[in-house]
């Protein structure tokens, strides 16, 4: 991966888009450079305050990805982001009014709370800061209503009929405001339910069922990506896969019993053909047994669907981790290949150098057959 510099980070943040690949790629880069977490988080906060409203959500998805996926490698990012998130949510609450943005951030906070990413008190504080704009407008409307009431009361002391008309006008205005707010809340809830029914459910592998906040594509972009959580261990994944083999949908015996149920128990027209009380009791017994069988089987199917949803999330998390490990392994492989190439080059240079050295056995005889020079011992003996 490229080296970390603040200018490089700013460039990557400016190129960030709501697609899964863009968010994951930058998230992995940030996690790789986690020793610079303080500078990274401060730059992220500064840039978030300067981007348009739609891109603020993308920045929050990036932060969520980094916070959740860096937990296994260390708590640095979780702690550092907790220092700036209050200011970030206050900034969003003051500058943003998009129901879509606030709804998506609300779902991120729900996931953090259910997975224990941050303390419930901290999450409640983030939520109140984010919704502060709405609370302020409500308070302003309340104060306006109160002042209007006082004014109407003073007017009533002098002109009773005018006061009554003014009071009715204020009451009507307040009712309209309440109805508009109620309609907005109902519309928002309806949109959230509609989005939940359209998207696949995402669940944490530790028996926590959470729905991943996915928004509709904008301007042709891929919907934003939100990580599901930490990847499972291989043994846990194998166990989950094995349990699916004995699921309700593969229970041939129960399915055969359901297929053999008599048609009379599901056709209302058969009731008119009953001739006596005994046959009615027999039919009622068959209906009750069928209802009990179907209720039990439907409950098993619902449980199986939840297990399959969890399994799908586990497989996705596991696949994401394996891709990250593969990328790290490929990076190490490239580094070792470069080192090997250097070693091979050095080995060739040494071999070439050795081959260019003269062979001492091939040198000419410079002594010319003369006797060898005396040794130090011979010289010492001669002196004596």
**pTM of this structure:** 0.42
- CA separation for the pair 204, 210 (Å, rounded): 7
Return the pLDDT at 121. 93
- Lowest model confidence (mean pLDDT) among 85-94, 121-130, 239-248, 294-303: 239-248
Return the pLDDT at 217. 39
- Lowest model confidence (mean pLDDT) among 186-195, 235-244, 366-375: 186-195
Return the pLDDT at 84. 94
Residue 373 φ/ψ, nearest 5 degrees: -65, 145
* Mean pLDDT across 22-50: 91
Return the pLDDT at 344. 93
Count CB neighbours of 69 within 10 A: 23
Q: Mind listing the pLDDT tens digit for each residue in 344-365?
A: 999 999 988 888 887 767 666 6
pLDDT at 92 over 70: yes
Instruction: Give me the residue label for tokens 């981007």.
Output: 51
Q: Mind listing the pLDDT tens digit for each residue in 231-240?
A: 677 777 788 8
Q: Mind listing the pLDDT tens digit for each residue in 116-168?
A: 899 999 999 999 999 875 444 444 444 544 444 444 444 434 434 444 444 44
Report in angstroms the alpha-carbon separations of 170 from 129, 141, 151, 165, 260.
30, 11, 11, 9, 68
> Closest by alpha carbon to 90, among 105, 79, 76, 80?
105
Tokens representing 323?
Answer: 């891709």
């Amino acid at each position: 991966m490229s080296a970390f510099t603040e200018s490089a980070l700013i460039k990557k943040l400016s190129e960030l888009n709501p697609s899964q690949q863009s968010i994951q790629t930058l998230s992995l880069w940030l996690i790789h450079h986690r020793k610079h977490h303080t500078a990274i988080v401060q730059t992220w906060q500064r840039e978030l305050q300067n981007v348009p409203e739609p891109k603020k959500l993308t920045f929050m998805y990036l932060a969520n990805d980094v916070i959740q996926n860096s937990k296994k490698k260390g708590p640095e990012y979780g702690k550092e982001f907790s220092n700036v998130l209050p200011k970030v949510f206050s900034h969003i609450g003051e500058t943003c009014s998009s129901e879509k943005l606030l709804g998506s951030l609300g779902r991120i906070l729900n996931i953090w709370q259910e997975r224990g990413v941050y303390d419930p008190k901290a999450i409640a504080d983030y939520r109140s800061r984010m919704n502060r704009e709405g609370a302020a407008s409500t308070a302003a409307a309340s104060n306006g209503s109160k002042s209007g009431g006082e004014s109407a009361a003073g007017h009533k002391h002098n002109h009773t009929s005018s006061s009554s008309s003014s009071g009715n006008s204020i009451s009507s205005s307040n009712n309209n405001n309440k109805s508009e707010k109620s309609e907005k809340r109902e519309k928002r809830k309806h949109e959230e339910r509609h989005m939940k029914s359209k998207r696949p459910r995402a669940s944490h592998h530790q028996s926590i069922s959470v729905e991943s906040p996915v928004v509709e594509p904008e301007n042709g972009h891929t919907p934003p990506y939100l990580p599901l959580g930490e990847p499972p261990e291989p043994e846990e994944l194998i166990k989950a896969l094995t349990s699916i083999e004995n699921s309700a949908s593969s229970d041939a015996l129960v399915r055969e019993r359901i297929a053999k149920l008599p048609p009379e128990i599901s056709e209302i027209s058969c009731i008119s053909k009953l001739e006596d009380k005994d046959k009615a009791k027999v039919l009622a017994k068959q209906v009750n047994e069928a209802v009990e069988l179907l209720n039990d089987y439907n409950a098993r199917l619902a449980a199986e669907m939840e297990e399959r949803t969890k399994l799908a999330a586990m497989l996705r998390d596991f696949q994401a981790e394996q891709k990250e490990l593969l990328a790290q392994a490929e990076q190490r492989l490239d580094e070792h290949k470069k080192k090997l190439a250097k070693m091979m080059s050095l080995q060739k240079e040494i071999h070439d150098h050795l081959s260019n050295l003269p062979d001492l056995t091939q040198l000419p005889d410079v002594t010319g057959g003369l006797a060898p020079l005396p040794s130090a011992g011979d010289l010492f003996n001669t002196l004596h």
